[in-house]
């Protein structure tokens, strides 16, 4: 029976090829290569270089065919992608049926990892669903641009016990998701990070990752967004194509608490304070809807504020039992303790006993004492 490999070949560096991928390459009789035009000849050349480098003592042939183009003028993104996929199904089906012998093995070499924003797996599933050609297929994972980006910037993608969010430029243009501080963005042709207004977001951006033309930029998003947009535009004009990925990450020197009303009222987001500047400071917060700030004030009984102190006064701190529904502001008390590496804290049980408010996201090692 015919067999088809879908092989992830990594994010651009031939050294990213896995041992499993090398073994699969050496079983292949026919490689199917989709031609995306002269401006992307580098992508075809990379695939050929990988085959020449890793395939030993085996003859193979390469079938190159023009890849159908997606209609980018359509007002409906989903319908245009669906029509494009239908064209690709027809092309792939013809390739497998006409160019692959009954007992031969074929392969599609996929940039990065086949599971991340690539349509090859989806196309193959649709061909099988049609039932016109019988074949089996196997997927070989590859090092994705996400992993390569993190390695090249020497960073972790997630924080301890927290989540990461993977999305596209089209989605990030609508704003950052709630309660997620680390967002990976792929397929962003419009530099949608320009729509992110948070001044404390850092960006880790990379293009042509793993290749000789690799470009890496990192730092504060607000300061760098226009530079990245210019660098990206110039690089694309020079090469004719670009593949880039980036991570948006809340500044490591900031601390955030969020509260959410049980009744579904607008989210409250606290002011973020940088550790080197404070060991005890009055905080403040705002309602996202009102966009008005109120100065912080100390609440409850006097609390020790020296670095490294142990908080012992939780029992005397209580939120107002029934905050007025039209109240526009809330005040935050003191940030108590030392930096996260050495501070010791008591149990913030009063957050959970409040009849009106509950703690939705307590992700830092600093304590905010809140009254409403």
Most confident of the following: 2-16, 63-77, 319-333 = 2-16
DSSP β-bridge partners for residue 244: 207
Nearest Cα residue to 225 out of 253, 248, 191, 198: 191
What's residue 252's pLDDT? 52
Give the C-alpha distances (Å, rounded to integers) separating 68 from 32, 78, 106, 287. Answer: 14, 16, 20, 49
Under a CB-based contact definition with an 8 Å cutoff, are residues 228 and 191 in contact? Answer: yes
Q: How far apart are CA 164 and CA 138, in angstroms?
A: 28
What's residue 200's pLDDT? 87
- pLDDT of 161 > 80? The answer is yes
Higher pLDDT, 66 or 233: 233
- pLDDT of 156 > 90? The answer is yes
What's residue 369's pLDDT? 34
Give the C-alpha distances (Å, rounded to integers) separating 322 from 35, 93, 197, 317. Answer: 66, 66, 34, 15
Average pLDDT, the chain: 73
Give the C-alpha distances (Å, rounded to integers) separating 259 from 176, 262, 311, 361. Answer: 17, 10, 21, 7
How confident is the model over 239-252, as a mean pLDDT?
Answer: 89
Q: How far apart are CA 273 and CA 68, in angstroms?
A: 51
Under a CB-based contact definition with an 8 Å cutoff, are residues 124 and 133 in contact? Answer: no
How many other C-beta atoms can be found within 10 angstroms of the C-beta atom of residue 80? 15
Chain segment 60-83, per-residue pLDDT in tens: 999 998 888 888 787 788 888 888
Q: What is the DSSP letter of 10?
A: B
Q: How far apart are CA 36 and CA 33, in angstroms?
A: 9
Under a CB-based contact definition with an 8 Å cutoff, are residues 316 and 300 in contact? Answer: yes
pTM of the model: 0.67
What is the side-by-side order of every strand in the sheet holding 105-110?
61-66, 30-35, 105-110, 2-8, 135-140
Chain segment 131-154, per-residue pLDDT in tens: 999 999 999 999 999 999 999 999
Q: Is 34 left (phi over 0), alpha (psi -120 to 50) or beta?
A: beta
Domain architecture of the chain: domains with CATH:
2-142 (3.40.1010.10), 146-250 (3.30.950.10), 257-371 (no CATH)
Chain segment 163-209, per-residue pLDDT in tens: 999 999 989 888 888 878 899 999 999 999 999 988 889 999 999 99
Nearest Cα residue to 250 out of 142, 364, 82: 364
- The fraction of the chain above a pLDDT of 90, given in percent, is 49
């Amino acid at each position: 029976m015919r067999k088809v490999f879908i092989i992830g070949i990594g994010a651009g560096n031939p050294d990213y090829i896995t041992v499993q991928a090398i073994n699969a390459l050496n079983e292949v009789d026919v490689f199917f290569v989709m031609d995306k035009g002269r401006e992307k000849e580098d992508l075809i050349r990379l695939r050929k270089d990988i085959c020449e480098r890793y395939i030993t003592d085996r003859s193979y042939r390469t079938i190159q065919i023009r890849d159908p183009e997606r209609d980018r003028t359509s007002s409906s993104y989903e319908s245009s992608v669906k029509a494009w996929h239908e064209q690709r199904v027809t092309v792939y089906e013809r390739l497998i049926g006409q160019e692959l012998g009954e007992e031969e093995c074929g392969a599609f070499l996929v940039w990065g990892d086949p599971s991340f924003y690539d349509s090859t797996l989806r196309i193959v599933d649709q061909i099988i669903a049609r039932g016109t050609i019988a074949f089996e297929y196997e997927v070989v994972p590859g090092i994705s641009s996400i992993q390569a980006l993190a390695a090249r910037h020497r960073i972790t993608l997630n924080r301890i016990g927290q989540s990461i969010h993977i999305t596209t430029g089209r989605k990030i243009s609508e704003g950052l998701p709630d309660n997620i501080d680390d967002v990976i963005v792929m397929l962003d042709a419009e530099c949608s990070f320009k729509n992110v207004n948070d001044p404390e977001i850092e960006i880790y951006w990379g293009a042509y990752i793993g290749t000789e033309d690799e470009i890496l930029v990192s730092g504060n998003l607000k300061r760098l967004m226009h530079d990245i947009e210019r660098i990206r535009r110039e690089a694309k004009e020079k090469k004719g194509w670009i593949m880039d990925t980036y991570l948006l990450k809340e500044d490591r020197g900031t601390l955030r608490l969020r509260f959410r009303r049980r009744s579904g009222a607008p989210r409250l987001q606290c002011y973020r304070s940088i550790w080197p500047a404070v060991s005890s400071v009055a905080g403040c917060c705002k309602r996202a809807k009102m966009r008005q700030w109120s100065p912080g004030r100390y609440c409850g009984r006097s609390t020790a504020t020296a670095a490294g102190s142990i908080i012992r006064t939780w029992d005397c701190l209580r939120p107002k039992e029934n905050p007025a529904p039209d109240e526009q502001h809330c005040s935050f008390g003191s940030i108590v303790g030392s930096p996260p590496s050495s501070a010791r804290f008591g149990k913030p049980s009063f957050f959970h006993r409040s009849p009106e408010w509950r703690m939705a996201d307590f992700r830092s090692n600093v304590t905010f004492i809140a009254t409403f």
